[in-house]
Chains A and B, each alone.
Chain A
Amino acid sequence: MKRPLLPLFWREIESLFFSPLAYIVLFIFLVLNGFSFILALETAGGVVSDTIAVFLGDGPLFWLSLMVVPPLITMRLVAEERRSGLLEITLTAPVRDGEVVLAKFFGALVFQGFLWAPTLIYIAIIRNYGALPDPGQVVTSYLGIVCVTGLLTAIGLLYSTLTSNQIVAAVASMTTNLIVLIVPALADARQYTALTKVLDPLSFFGHFSTSFNRGVLDSGILAFYVAATAGVLVLCTRSLEIRKWR
């Protein structure tokens, strides 16, 4: 028996690319990133590695887009289908709940890959001005983006499975993203040493400043993202099953 993961995945991609929302998100995202690049050029003062570090990790607009884009993509994935009844049609086919979750997750992730792909142009622009960026730094920075986007997409998907209201899903996951991003940074800034010790390994900013932006791969950090994302996806599957008990 052929597994239905692939058709589910393609259906997700199709519906993401057919929805007008996707293009609005793409537009907002590209505007944000344009400014983010200008900001990076100005703050780095001509140092190539710093420019890339700010553009792909230290800049506020970078984090704003990382925080806002995944919830906008994921909010409708399950919530909308639950409301319209499409979920019922999908789940009464011989399909596992986990396969539906995986297809939606990878669909959203690949779609966001299309959002981020145009930012490579900025790297090319830097190159064309004769300043050669360190390929290692560029690769690990993008890997960091994949890791964080993956985790935040899974979180967004979780909220989408919990409600049939897209707005609730989007606001709840943005709030969660904000807390996840801000709390370790706040603890750090206020020098609550005990709290910082606990939260530091979870700090997304920390992951970028110590690893991804430096062109250094830390297997511990990678393992954290893989495990956390997988864990949230398992919760998504359980949450889809919960529909049955309400």
Chain B
Amino acid sequence: MIEVEHLTRRYHDLVAVDDISLSVKEGEVLGFLGPNGAGKSTTIKILTGFLPATSGLASVAGFNVATQSLQARRCLGYLPENVSLPPDARVEEYLDYRGRLKGVTRSERQHGIDRVLDQCGLVPMRRRILSQLSRGYRQRVGLADALLADPKVLFLDEPTGGLDPAQRQEVLTLIGSLAGERTVMLSSHVLNEVEGVCTQVAIIKKGAIVASGSPEELEQSVGRMGELHVQIKGSHESLVTWATSHSLNHRPHDRGGLVLTLSEQDNPEALLRALVEQGSAVVRWQPLSRSLQQIFLDLTRA
């Protein structure tokens, strides 16, 4: 549904997007993650047809975004990072206008507006003037607009930005409920909140994709070198001596015991056997899985 091949975008000397390739299949939810200024918004702006790429190809729903921009834009809904709304219109009127712009017929519009108002929790706000809405509600109006024409592909640029934790959860639940019927690409710089809704994750840093795959794949691929939390009954020194004698990389854990960093050659089973054989009562032998958040931080740290 979304195909990106060797996409590059330069602003004068600055390379905002550097030769990225992506592919999102129908019904998938791609989490596009990276720190601020990594090129997430620029990529999304290219895909929505607002900016052209310096080089490379991008297509949405089979339409090239550069040469078949109108057709591509008919298939997509877009929530920009900063939702800008005309200050003078009412929520309902604005959505009606957007529906007309997107070519939604009158009867579909009436039905569609009720549907998106309901989906985005805006029913009590339908007669409010847009300039009087709080940031959270503006974000929802933007989302309602993106959903209005029933698009096949949704681009959501930081959909949870500026929302309080409860609203965040609501928006994420809504996005999760769209998966399967719609293809979604959402960007964020907060990883753990999108972990639950994304079927695919791509991490971008300084314009280039540094890791991609399903959340599980990502965890495995980056977390190969395992860490172990080991605790024994008795003296801490004997554990340190044991670790040193096996030339293991170790550091104390906050809650007692040691954290061992295993290399490829180390065999955890053999190590455990050795520890038990020297007479220690092992109370904890726990592999530490690095959370996606940690992977993300490690990958994107400068």
Contact = CB atoms under 8 A, between A and B. Distances in A.
A130 interface: no
A129 interface: no
Contacts of B88: 14-15, 18-19
B49 A14 contact: no
B84 to A, nearest CB: 4
Interface string A76-95: 00000100111011111111
A46 interface: no
Q: Say what secondary structure dominates the interface of chain B.
A: loop
A244 B82 CA distance: 19
B82 A92 contact: no
A92 B70 CA distance: 9
A11 B97 contact: yes
Given A1-B103, A14-B89, A244-B52, A93 B73 contact: yes
Interface string B62-99: 00000000110110101010111111110000000110
A93 B98 contact: yes
Interface in A1-58: 1-2, 4, 6-8, 10-11, 14-15, 18-19
Contacts of A88: 45, 50, 80, 84
7 contacts: A1-B103, A4-B100, A86-B86, A88-B84, A92-B48, A94-B70, A96-B70
A93 B101 contact: yes
A19 to B, nearest CB: 8
Contacts of B78: 89, 92
B51 interface: yes
Contact of A8 (B70, B80, B101, B103): B101
B251 interface: no
Given A18-B88, A85-B84, A94 B73 contact: yes
A1 B70 CA distance: 12
Nearest to A6: B100
B97 A89 contact: no
Contact of A91 (B50, B82, B100, B103): B50
Interface residues of B, number: 30
A94 B84 contact: no
Contacts of B48: 92
The 6 A-B residue pairs with the shortest CB-CB distance, nearest first, are A85-B84, A18-B88, A7-B100, A94-B73, A92-B48, A94-B74
Interface in A81-115: 81, 84-86, 88-96
B102 interface: yes
Interface residues of A, number: 28
A4 B101 contact: yes
Contacts of A14: 88-89
A244 B51 contact: yes
Contacts of B105: 2
B144 to A, nearest CB: 13
Contacts of B76: 92
Given A93-B98, A94-B74, A94-B103, 9 more contacts: A4-B103, A7-B100, A11-B86, A93-B73, A94-B70, A94-B73, A95-B73, A95-B101, A246-B11
Nearest to B105: A2
Contacts of B85: 86, 89
A2 B84 CA distance: 25
A90 B48 CA distance: 11
Nearest to A246: B11
A225 B76 CA distance: 40
A35 B76 CA distance: 54
A206 B48 CA distance: 48
A79 B235 CA distance: 72
Interface in A201-246: 244-246
A14 B96 CA distance: 14
A1 B76 CA distance: 16
B50 A92 contact: yes
Nearest to A99: B101
A1 B102 CA distance: 9
B80 A85 contact: yes
